[in-house]
Amino acid sequence: MQPSPVTKYRPFPPVDLPNRQWPGRTLTQAPIWCSVDLRDGNQALAQPMSVEEKLEYFEMLVNIGFKEIEVGFPSASQIEFDFIRRLIDENRIPDDVAIQILCQCREELITRSCEAMRGAKNVIFHLYNSTSPAQRKHVFNATKADIVNIAVQGTKWVKQYTQALIDDGTRVRFEYSPESFTSTELEFALEICEAVTDVWQPTVDNKIILNLPATVEYATPNVHADQIEWMGTHLTRRDCTIISLHTHNDRGTGIAATELALLAGADRVEGTLFGNGERTGNLDIVVVALNFYTHGIDPGLDFSNINEIREIYERCTRLEVPVRQPYAGELVFTAFSGSHQDAIKKSWAVQKPDTPWDVLYIPVDPADIGRSYKAIIRINSQSGKGGVAYILESEFGYSLPKLMHKEVGRLINVLADSTGRELTSKEIHQAFVDEYLDRTDSIAIKQFRTNETDSAVSCQVNIAIEGQRHDLSAEGNGPIDAFVRSLSGTSLPKFEVQSYTEHSLGKGAEAKAVSYIQIKTDRGQMLYGAGTDTNIELASIKAIVSALNRVLAKP
């Protein structure tokens, strides 16, 4: 990198728009969406999709709810042409879906494109040419007038050769892109758009689509919004025009630029699923649509099964959705931090179905987009007690007492530290079972019976302590009290029961009970034990034995 002062690069010039309106506006409805996955996205793939893959992808886009889909550049290759013909000939295009094709301003390409669309019911002819000073100088060696003439002549050819389609009953709409709009002088962008509009002669009922692409993202999102608002306020036939956006992501702000440009008056958005596209990619329509949804605005696109959409996308494009991709990434509903886990658990516990979503750290209910709750909290050495408790409860049914969370959390943190990696839920469960439920290392119950009278409960116990069998008996005000008293004559530490909770583990006649008991020894040690059994009484006794085994295991 160049040391300061940086003279190699220049700041992007601001737009003179002193009365800009977009900062005070609020988004209230979703735009018109146009998927360009099958053209702009496909051309960026190292291995472009086959016709069969494109057909599957097209069907997915229709099922999501796209009403405008750019399906290819039919004059560019035979594969593109054949794909469009199959869509039409096999009646794969719903009546309310428009297919869009892209074409340069060359007569032979325009006629070939019209041939590809023959028999379609609803089409958008997308014409473009480059307009920026650098393109005019380095690529075309052309003047502004030359560039305007190219666009105007191309539009005349489109109007001429699409008439046959219209005569056959096809609805034809026209879209024009001054490619590299955001690096074109605004006055010239307006001039060429007006010239094209003069030729096409749109009406309120059949509007022209002026697509104003950020082909390369050079400026901050607010400058992009200013450019869009400036164009919208200077177009002479704004009521006959749909202003369309096509943002790329070179600065990593394509989504922000799109949202601000919608505030600035844009009507339509072109983009791709998960942002596939040249260089850093196109706008991610999934994110923008779900951003609308999380503000209570119907996006008009259905991502309620985002896992299946991701699977088709990854299989057809041979790309992977990054694990941190908003909404769709594997880890986006996952918390490792202990404080985050605790906040999620507490706020989720009080979330009611009929109230606005307000779960901390999770902006959308994962169930709304077909995601699982199971992956929300995951455990590593940075995790806290709340996260561990959440895993044990949500996946295995153990509702630990609040005071037990710290004990179990410490146990799992030690395990995570020793492995140096994330722990699976199965590993967490097994560690809990080993520590609390399968503890027979020093003490093991062999037999336990109780008899109840009007005044007391008596118990008879056969217990192994350090391998030695003991037959014990005692009376108390309940089974737990009787069992504790029966141990008083042994070599085991003296203790008192501090707390006791229990709940069922599962449903039905075969469901087990689980008990959690905290004891305090005469040395001041306070530890929990846990026990499970189909008999709730025996589950409690096992919990005491579990706690005692844990006491004896402490150095």
pLDDT tens-digit map of 269-289: 999 999 999 999 999 999 999
Between CA 39 and CA 74 the distance in angstroms is 10
Residue 204 has pLDDT above 80, yes or no: yes
Q: Residue 423: which pLDDT band, with cuts at 50, 70 and 90?
A: confident
pLDDT, average across residues 303-310: 96
**pTM of this prediction?**
0.75
CATH topology of domain 31-317: TIM Barrel (3.20.20)
Higher pLDDT, 554 or 223: 223
pLDDT, average across residues 91-103: 98
pLDDT, average across residues 425-454: 90
pLDDT at 377: 53
pLDDT, average across residues 442-463: 91
pLDDT at 375: 52
Same fold: 31-317 with 443-553: no
Higher pLDDT, 342 or 190: 190
pLDDT at 182: 96
pLDDT, average across residues 438-455: 88
- Assess contact for 325 and 276: CB atoms under 8 A: no
Q: Best-predicted range by mean pLDDT among 401-410, 419-428, 467-476, 509-518?
A: 467-476
pLDDT at 382: 58
Query: What ranges do the domains of the chain cover?
Result: 31-317, 338-435, 443-553
pLDDT at 103: 97
pLDDT at 440: 79
Residue 98 has pLDDT above 70, yes or no: yes
pLDDT, average across residues 32-40: 97
First to last CA, the chain: 58
Report CA-CA distances (Å) from 152 to 136, 156, 426.
16, 6, 66
Between CA 280 and CA 290 the distance in angstroms is 21
pLDDT at 507: 77
Higher pLDDT, 361 or 205: 205
**pLDDT tens, position by position, 238-262:** 999 999 999 999 999 999 999 999 9
pLDDT at 373: 56
Report CA-CA distances (Å) from 427 to 188, 304, 322, 434.
64, 31, 26, 10
Q: Residue 383: which pLDDT band, with cuts at 50, 70 and 90?
A: low
**Residue 237 CB-half CA count within 13 A:** 22
How many degrees, rounded to 5, is the angle at CA 101 between CA 98 and CA 105? 140
The answer to whether the peptide bond before residue 356 is cis (omega within 30 degrees of 0) is: no
pLDDT at 332: 86
Between CA 151 and CA 155 the distance in angstroms is 6
Residue with tokens 């697509």: 211
3-state secondary structure of 543: helix
pLDDT, average across residues 13-38: 97
Residue 132 has pLDDT above 90, yes or no: yes
pLDDT, average across residues 432-458: 90
Q: Residue 190: which pLDDT band, with cuts at 50, 70 and 90?
A: very high
E-strand ranges in 457-547 read 457-465, 468-476, 495-505, 512-521, 526-533
Residue 297 has pLDDT above 60, yes or no: yes
**pLDDT tens, position by position, 208-239:** 999 999 999 999 999 999 999 999 999 999 99
Higher pLDDT, 382 or 429: 429
> Domain 443-553 class?
alpha beta
**pLDDT tens, position by position, 115-126:** 999 999 999 999
Residue 155 has pLDDT above 60, yes or no: yes
pLDDT at 180: 93
Residue 393 has pLDDT above 90, yes or no: no
Between CA 319 and CA 254 the distance in angstroms is 20
Q: What is the mean pLDDT of the chain?
A: 93
Higher pLDDT, 554 or 158: 158
Higher pLDDT, 63 or 323: 63
b or e along 157-171 (b: 16 or more beta carbons within 10 Å of the residue's beta carbon)?
bbbebbeebeeeebe
The type of residue at 360 is L
pLDDT, average across residues 486-513: 89
Contacts with 395 (C-beta within 8 Å, 6 or more apart), sequence order:
374, 425, 429
User: Between the CA atoms of 156, 75, 124 and 276, what dihedral angle is there, to the nearest 10 degrees?
Assistant: -130
Between CA 386 and CA 391 the distance in angstroms is 9
pLDDT at 96: 97
